[in-house]
Amino acid sequence: MTTTPPLLLITADPSHPLAHLALRYARAYLNGAADSHDIDNNDTNSTGSSDNTTSEQPLLNVFFYGDSAHIANRLRWQSADQLDLTKEWQSLAEQYQLPLPVCVSTALGRGVSDVDNSSRHQLDGANLATGFTLVGLSELAMMMQDDCRLIQF
């Protein structure tokens, strides 16, 4: 039985405790999901052959909206005594092949842009952090269409 992964709708500014809680939740969820996924693979694939299909759905859906678009700004400086949410999300995304979509309109409204939108809107440069992508709200709608468990931070 395939279950739809939860959707984390992150709207909190990086300085807000909820933005940090979202990262901790994602980490805990992905660690648990990866462990159970490994157990499932060991149970069903006892022949020793490895079947690494990458067409699987992600273990977790994430969408950055509103003030959380600041997390995707590669120029956002963070003091050494505080957690750098941008780098932490990038690391998590790399480890679990997790897409990091950001609402394009809320990102542009907060000064976060990729190369294409900078050119289209005559902006001086791009500052979207590696691993994040600017997408329309249709991406969020697609994530929500299948019996989705939505968790907002």
Where in the sequence numbering do the catalytic residues fall? 103
Instruction: List Cβ neighbours of 127 (8 Å cut-off, separation of 6 or more).
Output: 73, 74, 75, 111, 112, 113
Task: Count other C-beta atoms under 10 Å from residue 10's C-beta.
Answer: 28
Phi/psi for 139 (5° steps) reads: -60, -45
Distances (CA, A) of 87 to 31, 48, 112: 18, 36, 16
Q: Which 3 state secondary structure label does DSSP give 111?
A: coil
If you search the block for the tokens 């691993």, which residue do you land on? 131
